[in-house]
Amino acid sequence: MNVITAQPSGGPDVLHIARRPVPSPGPGEVLIKVHAAGVNGADLREREGKYPVPPGAPDIMGLEVSGEVVSTGSGCTRFAAGDRVCALLIGGGYAEYALAPEGQCMPVPDGVSLTDAAGLPEVYCTVWTNMMDRCALQAGETVLIQGGTSGIGCAAIQIARAHGATVFATARNDEKCAAMRTLGVHHPINYKDTDFAEACRAATDERGVDVVIDIIGGDYLPKEVELLAHGGRLMIINLRGGKLAEVDFGHVHARHLTITGARLRPRSIAEKSAICRALEANIWPLFADGTISPVTYAVLPFAEAGEAHRLMESSRHIGKIILTA
């Protein structure tokens, strides 16, 4: 089969097509003929050789795919050859065929194309487990989503809005802010010309927000902790701006705050499978009835994977970038 590899690591130009044997499904695994693969921020870091790939992950990048089941290993009970699925992977998605644990496969939601479905597993699993499960965002609460036009951000905005939260989200320019408003953000914030904390305080009568979903860290952290309302929760899903910060923990103490963080990729198959079942129960019906929809910015063939990475690095995109096999 053809795969996209990034060896040696480096810039987008290192991505090239190579030949590998088609893998065989082991116990509990499903072999998928890949139709499309989602591009994620982690792929860029992996291509650069800067991402700590978990043990057991293939040396081919790609955290999510859609496609058709070709065969199944022993012990698989749910899916069979010919089923259309999307799947959360530990790696290996940039390939003509990919293996996934059966529990991490989901039917393509009604109303979603097979191509768009490739961009759902990684971001919706991440947002569900962090924003809805761990931070328990409730109807009537307020949430600040940093990077609202990222793949993660577009999913978080739609889920938060669908669950009755008031949504604040940040982006670098007015065009992106307008796109966020269309997606359902009540208070878009252009972080280049507006202080996000001041904007949130002004719009909440100085109360602050209940939940912050952060991908930046660094000097955002002390401001986010200070911004949280009583009982507020800060979820750190990345630290693009730095791991170190001076935080006034007096706010945590005085206002009963929770600060936490998480990574999806190293979690166990059992944990990821449970998150996939939660998506099917809670999120897939929202695609079917049109409450939410995939936000796909660009679709490129696998042969143009370098161009797809360049596009993500430019940060022009709003939503997901997808590669098709």
Ligand X SMILES: NC(=O)c1ccc[n+]([C@@H]2O[C@H](COP(=O)([O-])OP(=O)(O)OC[C@H]3O[C@@H](n4cnc5c(N)ncnc54)[C@H](OP(=O)(O)O)[C@@H]3O)[C@@H](O)[C@H]2O)c1
Residues at the contact surface with ligand X, assessed by CB under 6 A:
40-42, 122-123, 126, 146-147, 149-153, 170-172, 176, 191, 215-216, 237-238, 240, 262-264, 312, 315
Strand intervals (E) in the chain: 2-5, 16-19, 29-39, 64-72, 84-88, 97-101, 105-107, 142-145, 166-171, 187-190, 209-214, 228-236, 258-261, 296-301, 320-324
Q: What is the DSSP string of 79-125?
A: --TT-EEEEE-SS--SBSEEEEEGGGEEEPPTT--HHHHTTSHHHHH
Shortest distance in whole angstroms from residue 6 CB to ligand X = 16
**CB closer to ligand X out of 51 and 282:** 51
**CB closer to ligand X out of 5 and 40:** 40
Shortest distance in whole angstroms from residue 151 CB to ligand X = 3
Residue of closest CB approach to ligand X: 150
**CB closer to ligand X out of 79 and 168:** 168
**CB closer to ligand X out of 123 and 185:** 123
**CB closer to ligand X out of 25 and 151:** 151
Shortest distance in whole angstroms from residue 123 CB to ligand X = 6
Cα(192)–Cα(181) distance, rounded to whole angstroms?
Answer: 17
Shortest distance in whole angstroms from residue 191 CB to ligand X = 5
Q: Which two tokens stand for residue 43?
A: 């792929």
Q: Which residue has the tokens 């096999």?
A: 325
Cα(182)–Cα(286) distance, rounded to whole angstroms?
Answer: 17
Shortest distance in whole angstroms from residue 211 CB to ligand X = 15
**CB closer to ligand X out of 25 and 101:** 101
Q: Which residue pairs, CB below 8 angstroms and at least 24 apart, start in 200-209? A: 200/142, 200/144, 200/168, 200/227, 201/227, 203/168, 204/142, 204/229, 208/142, 208/232, 209/142, 209/143, 209/144, 209/168
Cα 319 to chain center, whole Å? 10
Shortest distance in whole angstroms from residue 254 CB to ligand X = 27
Shortest distance in whole angstroms from residue 196 CB to ligand X = 8
**CB closer to ligand X out of 47 and 76:** 47
